[in-house]
């Protein structure tokens, strides 16, 4: 018969203080970590769907400026 290596006493010292939990957590995700992909195409006043990416469009340079303003307003 083999002995279990699983500890009978589970150390919880890293879970007690909030600052330590924040320090050792694996992921920090903020709105500043997110990106808004914008795809540019030639032409003027162009806004076309990209079939392989639902709800994503290609924009001409004049339309990209409008989209960038929207992104700035959203934060």
Q: Does 3 map to a domain?
A: no
Residue 37 domain flag:
yes
Least Cα distance to 60 among 38, 75, 37 occurs for 38
Q: Confirm whether 66 is domain-assigned.
A: yes
- Give residue 2's pLDDT: 67
- Backbone dihedral region for residue 55 (phi beyond 0: left; psi -120 to 50: alpha; all else: beta): left
Cβ atoms of 21 and 13 within 8 Å: the answer is no
Domain hosting 55: range is: 29-74
Q: Could you read off the pLDDT of 14-71 as tens digits, one per residue?
A: 677 888 877 777 777 887 888 888 899 999 999 999 999 998 999 999 999 999 998 8
Domain count within the chain: 1
């Amino acid at each position: 018969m083999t002995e279990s290596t699983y500890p009978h006493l589970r150390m919880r010292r890293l879970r007690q203080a909030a600052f330590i939990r924040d320090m050792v957590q694996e992921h920090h995700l903020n709105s500043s970590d997110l990106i808004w992909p914008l795809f540019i195409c030639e032409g003027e006043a162009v806004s076309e769907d990209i079939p392989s990416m639902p709800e994503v469009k290609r924009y001409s340079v004049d339309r990209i400026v409008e989209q960038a303003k929207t992104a700035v307003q959203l934060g």
